[in-house]
């Protein structure tokens, strides 16, 4: 099961809160997170690792990043 969290344009701590909500709702699976700043990218990756999810991929999309999280 995969899900998309679109946190582009949202500032701290929204991207982390939205990702956390999805992590807790899914339990396991694949989550794609879209963010538009390096800070948000780092924060979401740090959260994922803290919650035992792996960061499979971080794509630089020019105007932001797509993180693929998996558990």
Q: Which residues bind another protein (CB under 8 A)?
A: 5, 8-14, 16-18, 20-22, 36-39, 42, 46-47, 50, 58, 60, 63
- Of 28 and 38, which has the nearer Cβ to another protein? 38
List, in order, residues 6 or more apart from 67 with CB less than 8 Å away: 32, 33, 35, 41, 44, 45, 48, 55, 57, 58, 59
Phi, psi of 58 (to 5 degrees): -125, 110
Rounded to the nearest whole angstrom, what is the least distance from the CB of residue 69 to another protein in the complex?
Answer: 16
Question: For residues 28 and 61, which CB has a smaller minimum distance to another protein in the complex?
Answer: 61
């Amino acid at each position: 099961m995969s899900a998309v969290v679109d946190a582009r344009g949202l500032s701290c701590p929204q991207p982390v809160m939205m990702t956390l909500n999805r992590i807790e709702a899914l339990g396991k699976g694949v989550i794609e997170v879209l963010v538009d700043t390096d800070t948000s990218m780092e924060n979401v990756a740090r959260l994922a690792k803290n919650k035992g999810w792996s960061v499979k991929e971080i794509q630089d999309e020019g105007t932001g990043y797509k993180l693929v999280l998996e558990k």
